[in-house]
Amino acid sequence: LIAYDKLRYRLLPYIYSLAWRVTSDDYTIMRPLIMDWRTDEKVREIGDQYMFGPSILVNPVTQEGATSRAVYLPSSAGWYDFWTGERLPGDVRIVASAPLDRIPLYVKAGSIVPLGPEVEYATEKSTAPVVLRIYRGADSNFNLYEDEGDTYDYEKGAHSIIPIHWNESTATLTIGDREGKYPGMPVTHSFRLVLVGKDRGAGAAMDETGVDLQYNGSAVSTVLR
């Protein structure tokens, strides 16, 4: 339970950005598979798997004593096992390992997932970099949303969005010009760019190695190999 609580805090940049999409775009965070794969007949009767935002496929284990479960990975450029970094194809059925402390999670290829530092409460300040995990396989975009965190001033426009784009063909990550501002907004950001692979950028570990990048609000690009 503690491990998943810590994972939830690490995922706050992802979750908070999606919450903004709910406010601004009427987005739905928890998505039955039929919402994203409307023409795939295989997903129509699946009621125990769901997408958490655009990237993370969640597969709850509901059978007492089970240590594995059947999972359908819908058609896509591929899927990454969140816990191991192993890449799998799309449009396949697998049996996923599900020990007591691990719910099967898969991340869609062509995703950027931001993770924050390990903190004990949502507004705790940290100088650790925001990790951008890049799941290769297709072009991808993510808008990182930020605001003061404790007021309703975002309704008056006090917030910022940092657009992030991955170009698969050139292996280039671009962090675009920051849009908007809010009181107390940090002048610079530290990012750590991680290309996910087998045993790299996997799980909730904090000791991720990657390319560190300082961002001052102006567009910057870097090639990752």
pLDDT number for residue 109: 98
> 1-35: per-residue pLDDT in tens?
899 999 999 999 999 999 999 999 999 999 999 99
Q: Which three-class secondary structure state does DSSP give residue 163?
A: strand
> Is the per-residue pLDDT at 163 higher than 80?
yes
Query: Per DSSP, what are the bridge partners of residue 54?
Result: none
> 176-211: per-residue pLDDT in tens?
999 999 999 999 999 999 999 998 999 987 777 899
pLDDT number for residue 121: 85
Cα–Cα distances in angstroms (integers) from residue 64 to residues 28, 67, 101, 124, in the given order: 29, 9, 13, 37
192: Cα separation from own chain's centroid = 14
Average confidence (pLDDT) over 58-71: 96
Cα distance between residue 114 and residue 161, in whole Å: 13
Label each residue of 57-104 as H, E or C.
EECCCCCCCCCEEEEEECCCCCEEECCCCCEECCCEEEEEECCCCCCC
Residue 197 carries which DSSP code?
Answer: B
Angle at the Cα of 155 (from 150 to 159), degrees rounded to 5?
Answer: 65
